[in-house]
């Protein structure tokens, strides 16, 4: 699904040199590489504060801790996403409120958000799923009307652009009150282990979060807030510093591959290709996810497995049906889109090193099967 070895070849010299410098300097935690990466990412995102941390799940948890959310507060998020988004809500003894998604973008449905708001609602967590930016104008309007926080889960869409109704263009993750991302190796901007970051334009909130990620300390052995141990190490920051200047090129390579897939599938009755809002820069294709119609998804998946073609089914079970998050408040009738998507979605290989020959083989295999 991802060719990290091929991508490494293009940055090998810089990464190896930086690794050696980190080892020789022995500044493994919060060293110069981390500090410089933080500044580089602030410049790229055009956001005032980036706080690196240990992974993307921590980033979401720390964001909620920084906002001072209390046990019992309700947090609305999408039913169709990876469990990390909802597990941190539960870990903090907040109340997750799952809602349906849009059938085209797969992102949280603003109308479903409106219906789910109660006096206990304190925050909304939109996920820019598979690299497609969510409808942030509508979400921010809802949040302003009801005095809610917006925490962007940007783990799958870093580098994407959102063209607001105001005419301004934002980087995903820098639109809401706070953003969180993952640098897991397979992400569009990935390191060679675990890593994450939190973004905000609120200086006071940033100050709180900087304490939280470091055991609640601003001064050594002075614990001013309840914190955790969640820091990006210098070796991972060195990888990210090498990759960040290439992120736009990496995303362009993904878009090129997506367009080749789209062209190959444009006349296929059994396939619906990924929806894209407006210009191509609103989708950075962390995943290239098809909808396979007419009940053919599982048979196609089996065929791809037999042919040795990687694929993913993201996600096979809605969060509201997961044992950990089952709740009597949920009604199956409230999740028609999600319940349909889990039966149809199938993701194909998507990375910066895909070439025409690989795409021709993948698409040819799929078309031959669906039309046989």
Given the residues 70, 120, 122, 187, the one annotated as active site: 187
> In this predicted structure, which of 29-33, 301-305, 310-314, 336-340 has the lowest mean pLDDT?
29-33
What are the CB-based long-range contacts (under 8 Å, 24+) for 339-343?
340/103, 341/80, 341/101, 341/103, 341/106, 341/291, 342/80, 342/315, 342/316, 342/317, 342/318, 343/295, 343/297
Q: Is the omega angle on the peptide bond into residue 182 within 30 degrees of 0, that is, cis?
A: no
Whether 256 is catalytic is no
pLDDT at 278 over 90: no
Can you tell me whether residue 207 is helix, strand or coil?
A: helix
Calculate what percentage of the chain has a pLDDT beyond 70.
Answer: 99
pLDDT value at 365 more than 80: yes
Q: Which CATH class is domain 4-99+106-244?
A: alpha beta
| Strands, sheet with 271-272, edge to edge from the N-terminal-most edge strand | 271-272, 288-292, 345-348
| Cβ 243 vs Cβ 11: under 8 Å | yes
Mean pLDDT of 221-250: 97
- pLDDT tens-digit profile of 239-263? 999 999 999 999 999 999 999 999 9
Q: Is the pLDDT of residue 79 over 70?
A: yes
Q: Which CATH class is domain 247-371?
A: alpha beta
Contact call for residues 370 and 268 (beta carbons, < 8 A): yes
d(CA 298, CA 325): 25
Give the Cα separation of 199 and 178 in Å (integer).
6
Question: Residue 281: its pLDDT value, please?
Answer: 79
- Beta-carbon contacts of residue 33 (< 8 Å; ≥ 6 apart): 18, 22, 27, 234, 235, 237, 238, 241
Task: Tell me what pLDDT residue 279 has.
Answer: 61
53-62, 175-184, 272-281, 360-369: segment of lowest average pLDDT: 272-281
Q: Is the pLDDT reported for residue 286 higher than 80?
A: yes
Q: What is the pLDDT of residues 103-121, one digit of tens each?
A: 999 999 999 999 999 999 9
| Rounded percentage of the chain residues whose pLDDT exceeds 90 | 97
The domains of the chain are located at 4-99+106-244, 247-371
Q: How confident is the model at residue 142 (pLDDT cuts 50, 70, 90)?
A: very high
Q: Alpha carbon 168 to chain centroid distance?
A: 22
How high does pLDDT run on average in the chain? 97
């Amino acid at each position: 699904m991802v060719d990290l070895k091929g991508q490494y070849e293009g940055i090998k010299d810089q990464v190896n040199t930086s690794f050696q410098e980190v080892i020789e300097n022995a500044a493994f935690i919060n060293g110069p590489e981390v500090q410089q990466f933080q500044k580089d990412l602030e410049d790229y995102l055009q956001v005032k504060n980036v706080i690196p941390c240990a992974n993307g799940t921590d980033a979401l948890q720390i964001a909620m801790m920084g906002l001072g959310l209390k046990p019992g507060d309700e947090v609305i998020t999408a039913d169709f996403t990876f469990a990390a988004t909802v597990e941190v809500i539960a870990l903090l003894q907040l109340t997750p409120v799952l809602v349906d998604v849009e059938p085209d973008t797969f992102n949280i449905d603003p109308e479903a958000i409106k219906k789910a708001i109660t006096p206990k609602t304190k925050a909304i967590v939109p996920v820019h799923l598979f690299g497609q930016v969510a409808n942030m104008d509508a979400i921010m309007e809802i949040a302003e009307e009801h005095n809610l926080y917006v925490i962007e889960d940007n783990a799958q869409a870093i580098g994407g652009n959102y063209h607001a109704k105001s005419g301004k263009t934002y980087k995903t993750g820098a639109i809401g009150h706070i953003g969180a991302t993952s640098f897991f190796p397979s992400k569009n901007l990935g390191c060679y282990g675990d890593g994450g970051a939190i973004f905000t334009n609120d200086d006071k909130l940033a100050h709180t979060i900087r304490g939280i990620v470091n055991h609640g300390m601003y001064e050594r052995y002075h614990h001013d807030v309840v914190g955790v141990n969640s820091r990006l190490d210098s070796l991972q920051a060195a990888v990210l510093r090498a990759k960040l200047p290439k992120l736009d090129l990496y995303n362009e390579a993904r878009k090129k591959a997506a367009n080749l897939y789209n062209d190959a599938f444009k006349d296929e009755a059994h396939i619906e290709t990924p929806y894209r809002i407006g210009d191509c820069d609103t989708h950075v294709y962390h995943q290239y996810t098809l909808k396979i119609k007419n009940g053919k998804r599982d048979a196609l998946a089996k065929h791809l497995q037999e042919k040795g073609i990687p694929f993913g089914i993201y996600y096979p079970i809605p969060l509201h049906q997961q044992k950990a998050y089952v709740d009597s408040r949920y009604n199956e009738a409230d999740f028609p889109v999600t319940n349909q998507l889990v039966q149809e979605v199938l993701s194909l290989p998507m990375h910066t090193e895909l070439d025409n020959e690989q795409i021709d083989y993948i698409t040819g295999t799929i078309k031959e099967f669906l039309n046989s």
